[in-house]
Amino acid sequence: MSSHDVIPFVMFGLFFVVMAAVIVASVLYAKKRTRELTEVAQRIGFLFTGNGRGPSFPSQPRISMLQRTRGRFSNVMTGSSGGLQISLFDYSYSAGKSSITQTVASFSQDKQLPPFALRPENFLDRIGDALVHNDIDFDSNPEFSKRYLLKSPDEAGVRRLFTSSLLTYLEQFQTTWYVEGTGPLLIVYHGGRTVRPSDLPAFLEETSRIARTFFAAAL
């Protein structure tokens, strides 16, 4: 066998070794994350239920990431604070050939929110809005309208919810959040980002403030 014949086998072997190493590293990382999140759940007084079935989300128009993608819940923990029922979890879904995982905080309270999805606005969103006008903007708060894309099948209800004080509150953040709501449910997360276990208490505190602000604005 010539050296030219050996090269493909060597390349295949190297590829196999690299892929095996990546898989092993991924499994070890996932186990380490689960172990650390279990410890965090105990410290903050939450019940860690692990992988599998996540929170139940009500049916709504297809404006929400969690409603239009078939994802997987993991590292689920539940608890309550200040009248809010809370679930924290990692949510993984497929986007083309890529897999995306993000840490999500889910809140529920005895209030009714109109269905809406709020996320950072990008250049392509502005082009799309110029063509189909599906972004709800507020003339009173141009900074909010510049930074966020807001969609809903109930524009009147959303305009009642997004009061001047709520718009100003959302403008103050240095980083923009993804916020989705419908009925008694609100979810908050950073798109495509997981939260380190050590940062989870701070994530819970900040997202809880956001949730309370939204529910306080609900009629």
Q: What is the mean pLDDT of residues 33-46?
A: 96
Per-residue pLDDT reduced to its tens digit, 90-114: 999 887 788 889 999 999 999 999 9
Residue-averaged pLDDT of the chain = 83
Give the residue with greater pLDDT, 30 vs 213.
213
What is the 3-state secondary structure of the chain?
CCHHHHHHHHHHHHHHHHHHHHHHHHHHHHHHHHHHHHHHHHHCCCEEEEEECCCCCCCCCCCCHHHHCCCEEEEEEEEEECCEEEEEEEEEEEECCEEEEEEEEEEEEEEEEEEEEEEECCHHHHHHHHHHCCCCCCCCCHHHHHHEEEECCCHHHHHHHCCHHHHHHHHCCCCCCEEEEEEEEEEEECCCCCCCHHHHHHHHHHHHHHHHHHHHHCC
* pLDDT band (50, 70, 90) for residue 132: low
* pLDDT band (50, 70, 90) for residue 121: confident
Tell me what pLDDT residue 98 has: 83
Tell me what pLDDT residue 196 has: 97
Tell me what pLDDT residue 4 has: 59
Residue 9 has pLDDT above 60, yes or no: no
Residue 145 has pLDDT above 60, yes or no: yes
pTM of the predicted model, to two decimals? Answer: 0.82
Q: Please give the distance of CA 48 from its chain centroid, rounded to a whole number.
A: 19
- What percentage of the chain carries pLDDT values higher than 90? 56
* pLDDT band (50, 70, 90) for residue 126: low
Give the residue with greater pLDDT, 171 vs 94.
171
Residue 64 has pLDDT above 80, yes or no: no
